[in-house]
Amino acid sequence: MGRYRIDAIRGDELIEVQCASLSAIKSKINALLRRHTVRVVKPVVLRTRIAKKKSPKGKITSRRMSPKRGDALDVFEDLIYFTRVFPHQNLVLEIAMIHVEQTRIPCRRHRRRWRKDYQVQDVNLEQIESSLELRHPADLLDIVGLDAEAESFTTEDIARVTGRPRWFAQKIAYVLKHTQAIQPIGRNRSGILYRAA
Protein backbone atom coordinates (compact mmCIF):
# COMPACT_ATOMS: atom_id res chain seq x y z
CA MET A 1 0.00 0.00 0.00
CA GLY A 2 2.11 2.85 -1.30
CA ARG A 3 5.49 2.53 0.39
CA TYR A 4 4.15 0.31 3.21
CA ARG A 5 3.70 -3.44 3.50
CA ILE A 6 0.33 -4.44 4.97
CA ASP A 7 -0.34 -7.80 6.63
CA ALA A 8 -3.86 -8.16 5.17
CA ILE A 9 -6.61 -6.27 3.39
CA ARG A 10 -10.30 -7.06 4.02
CA GLY A 11 -12.57 -5.00 1.86
CA ASP A 12 -11.69 -1.37 2.59
CA GLU A 13 -9.95 -2.22 5.87
CA LEU A 14 -6.19 -2.56 6.23
CA ILE A 15 -5.12 -5.08 8.90
CA GLU A 16 -1.81 -4.88 10.71
CA VAL A 17 -0.85 -7.62 13.21
CA GLN A 18 1.75 -6.31 15.64
CA CYS A 19 3.39 -8.80 18.01
CA ALA A 20 6.23 -6.38 18.79
CA SER A 21 5.86 -2.97 20.43
CA LEU A 22 3.19 -0.65 19.03
CA SER A 23 5.77 2.15 19.07
CA ALA A 24 7.46 0.51 16.07
CA ILE A 25 4.43 1.12 13.82
CA LYS A 26 3.03 4.43 15.11
CA SER A 27 4.39 6.51 12.20
CA LYS A 28 3.18 3.96 9.66
CA ILE A 29 -0.32 3.76 11.16
CA ASN A 30 -0.59 7.55 11.46
CA ALA A 31 0.22 7.87 7.76
CA LEU A 32 -2.23 5.15 6.70
CA LEU A 33 -5.08 6.57 8.81
CA ARG A 34 -5.15 9.72 6.69
CA ARG A 35 -6.78 7.81 3.83
CA HIS A 36 -7.70 4.36 5.11
CA THR A 37 -9.54 2.44 7.80
CA VAL A 38 -6.97 0.45 9.77
CA ARG A 39 -7.32 -2.43 12.21
CA VAL A 40 -4.28 -3.04 14.41
CA VAL A 41 -4.35 -6.49 16.01
CA LYS A 42 -2.23 -6.61 19.17
CA PRO A 43 -1.82 -10.10 20.68
CA VAL A 44 -1.59 -10.40 24.47
CA VAL A 45 -0.21 -13.74 25.67
CA LEU A 46 -2.43 -15.22 28.38
CA ARG A 47 -0.69 -18.60 28.74
CA THR A 48 2.64 -19.93 27.48
CA ARG A 49 3.55 -23.58 27.05
CA ILE A 50 7.33 -24.01 27.17
CA ALA A 51 8.83 -26.68 24.90
CA LYS A 52 12.51 -27.56 25.31
CA LYS A 53 14.96 -28.97 22.78
CA LYS A 54 18.59 -29.93 23.29
CA SER A 55 19.62 -28.60 19.86
CA PRO A 56 18.09 -26.50 17.08
CA LYS A 57 17.33 -29.53 14.90
CA GLY A 58 16.57 -31.90 17.76
CA LYS A 59 13.21 -33.17 18.96
CA ILE A 60 11.23 -31.62 21.79
CA THR A 61 12.29 -33.31 25.04
CA SER A 62 9.82 -31.74 27.48
CA ARG A 63 6.83 -29.45 27.76
CA ARG A 64 5.45 -27.51 30.70
CA MET A 65 3.14 -24.58 31.32
CA SER A 66 4.77 -21.33 32.35
CA PRO A 67 3.45 -20.01 35.69
CA LYS A 68 3.28 -16.51 34.21
CA ARG A 69 -0.13 -15.36 33.01
CA GLY A 70 -1.10 -12.29 31.04
CA ASP A 71 -4.32 -10.31 30.84
CA ALA A 72 -5.84 -7.46 28.85
CA LEU A 73 -4.27 -4.86 31.16
CA ASP A 74 -0.86 -5.77 29.72
CA VAL A 75 -1.75 -3.74 26.62
CA PHE A 76 -1.24 -0.52 28.63
CA GLU A 77 2.52 -1.21 28.58
CA ASP A 78 2.35 -0.66 24.81
CA LEU A 79 -0.32 2.01 24.71
CA ILE A 80 2.02 4.45 26.47
CA TYR A 81 3.79 4.79 23.11
CA PHE A 82 0.59 4.82 21.04
CA THR A 83 -1.42 7.65 22.59
CA ARG A 84 -0.72 9.94 19.62
CA VAL A 85 -2.36 7.39 17.34
CA PHE A 86 -5.25 6.01 19.42
CA PRO A 87 -8.05 6.98 19.39
CA HIS A 88 -8.77 7.86 15.76
CA GLN A 89 -12.05 7.68 13.85
CA ASN A 90 -10.45 5.38 11.26
CA LEU A 91 -8.71 3.09 13.75
CA VAL A 92 -9.79 -0.12 15.47
CA LEU A 93 -7.34 -1.58 17.99
CA GLU A 94 -8.16 -5.26 18.47
CA ILE A 95 -6.65 -7.01 21.48
CA ALA A 96 -6.33 -10.76 20.86
CA MET A 97 -5.89 -12.87 24.00
CA ILE A 98 -3.85 -15.88 22.94
CA HIS A 99 -2.12 -19.05 24.12
CA VAL A 100 1.28 -19.84 22.61
CA GLU A 101 3.95 -22.51 22.64
CA GLN A 102 7.48 -21.17 23.01
CA THR A 103 10.30 -23.47 21.86
CA ARG A 104 13.58 -23.00 23.70
CA ILE A 105 17.07 -24.26 22.97
CA PRO A 106 20.26 -23.93 25.06
CA CYS A 107 22.48 -20.91 24.41
CA ARG A 108 25.67 -21.68 22.51
CA ARG A 109 27.77 -19.28 24.53
CA HIS A 110 28.32 -19.55 28.23
CA ARG A 111 26.38 -16.75 29.86
CA ARG A 112 26.66 -15.15 33.23
CA ARG A 113 24.67 -16.63 36.06
CA TRP A 114 21.93 -13.99 36.12
CA ARG A 115 21.24 -14.17 32.39
CA LYS A 116 18.98 -16.67 30.65
CA ASP A 117 20.65 -19.96 29.72
CA TYR A 118 18.35 -20.46 26.72
CA GLN A 119 17.21 -18.71 23.58
CA VAL A 120 13.76 -18.76 22.05
CA GLN A 121 13.85 -20.64 18.76
CA ASP A 122 10.19 -20.22 17.81
CA VAL A 123 6.78 -19.17 19.08
CA ASN A 124 3.65 -20.86 17.76
CA LEU A 125 0.05 -19.80 18.21
CA GLU A 126 -1.99 -22.50 19.98
CA GLN A 127 -5.29 -20.75 20.58
CA ILE A 128 -7.10 -17.43 20.34
CA GLU A 129 -9.15 -17.41 23.54
CA SER A 130 -10.98 -14.15 22.93
CA SER A 131 -10.60 -10.67 21.53
CA LEU A 132 -11.91 -7.21 22.23
CA GLU A 133 -12.11 -4.11 20.10
CA LEU A 134 -11.03 -0.66 21.25
CA ARG A 135 -12.43 2.26 19.30
CA HIS A 136 -13.06 4.99 21.87
CA PRO A 137 -11.32 6.22 25.05
CA ALA A 138 -14.21 4.88 27.14
CA ASP A 139 -13.31 1.36 25.97
CA LEU A 140 -10.06 1.69 27.94
CA LEU A 141 -12.03 2.46 31.11
CA ASP A 142 -13.92 -0.80 30.62
CA ILE A 143 -10.66 -2.80 30.55
CA VAL A 144 -9.47 -1.15 33.74
CA GLY A 145 -12.81 -1.69 35.47
CA LEU A 146 -13.18 1.90 36.67
CA ASP A 147 -16.60 3.30 37.45
CA ALA A 148 -17.13 6.05 34.89
CA GLU A 149 -19.68 7.67 37.23
CA ALA A 150 -17.26 7.97 40.17
CA GLU A 151 -16.77 11.53 41.41
CA SER A 152 -13.00 11.08 41.51
CA PHE A 153 -10.23 8.48 41.79
CA THR A 154 -6.44 8.31 42.08
CA THR A 155 -3.78 5.92 40.86
CA GLU A 156 -4.11 4.27 44.27
CA ASP A 157 -7.72 3.45 43.37
CA ILE A 158 -6.63 2.16 39.95
CA ALA A 159 -4.07 -0.09 41.65
CA ARG A 160 -6.75 -1.47 43.99
CA VAL A 161 -9.29 -2.10 41.20
CA THR A 162 -6.79 -3.79 38.89
CA GLY A 163 -4.74 -5.64 41.49
CA ARG A 164 -1.59 -4.16 39.96
CA PRO A 165 1.19 -2.23 41.75
CA ARG A 166 1.02 1.56 42.01
CA TRP A 167 3.75 2.08 39.39
CA PHE A 168 1.67 0.14 36.86
CA ALA A 169 -1.45 2.08 37.83
CA GLN A 170 0.48 5.26 37.03
CA LYS A 171 1.12 3.94 33.52
CA ILE A 172 -2.58 3.22 33.14
CA ALA A 173 -3.44 6.75 34.30
CA TYR A 174 -0.93 8.19 31.82
CA VAL A 175 -2.59 6.35 28.93
CA LEU A 176 -6.11 7.25 30.08
CA LYS A 177 -5.17 10.90 30.44
CA HIS A 178 -3.39 11.20 27.09
CA THR A 179 -6.21 9.42 25.22
CA GLN A 180 -8.66 11.80 26.96
CA ALA A 181 -10.51 9.00 28.73
CA ILE A 182 -9.97 10.80 32.05
CA GLN A 183 -9.07 14.31 33.14
CA PRO A 184 -7.29 15.65 36.25
CA ILE A 185 -9.53 17.66 38.57
CA GLY A 186 -7.35 18.30 41.60
CA ARG A 187 -5.04 16.72 44.13
CA ASN A 188 -5.16 15.21 47.61
CA ARG A 189 -2.72 13.37 49.88
CA SER A 190 -2.95 10.23 47.73
CA GLY A 191 -2.00 12.10 44.55
CA ILE A 192 -3.73 13.58 41.53
CA LEU A 193 -7.51 13.26 41.42
CA TYR A 194 -9.09 12.15 38.13
CA ARG A 195 -12.55 11.58 36.78
CA ALA A 196 -13.90 10.15 33.53
CA ALA A 197 -13.88 12.74 30.75
pLDDT digits (tens, 9 = 90+) for 141-178: 999 998 889 899 999 999 999 999 999 999 999 999 99
Is 181 inside any structural domain?
yes
Phi and psi dihedrals of 57, rounded to 5?
A: -100, 0
Is 120 inside any structural domain?
no
Is 16 inside any structural domain?
no
CA distance 182 to 173: 8
Domain that holds residue 152: 136-197
SS3 51: strand
Is 36 inside any structural domain?
no
Nearest to 186 by CA among 150, 152, 141: 152
Question: Domain holding 195: CATH number?
Answer: 1.10.10.10
Number of domains making up the chain = 1
Is 106 inside any structural domain?
no
Q: Residue 114 has what pLDDT?
A: 57
Q: Which amino acid is at 87?
A: P
Could you tell me which residues come within 8 angstroms of residue 75 by beta carbon, excluding any fewer than 6 positions away? 42, 44, 95, 143
Is 81 inside any structural domain?
no
Is 192 inside any structural domain?
yes
Q: How many CA atoms lie within 13 A of 88 on its CB side?
A: 22
Band (pLDDT 50/70/90 cuts) for residue 191 is: confident
CA distance 66 to 71: 14
Is 188 inside any structural domain?
yes
Percent of the chain scoring above 90 in pLDDT: 82
Strand partners, 13: 10, 37
pLDDT, tens digit (0-9, with 9 covering 90-100), for 119-147: 888 999 999 999 999 999 999 999 999 88
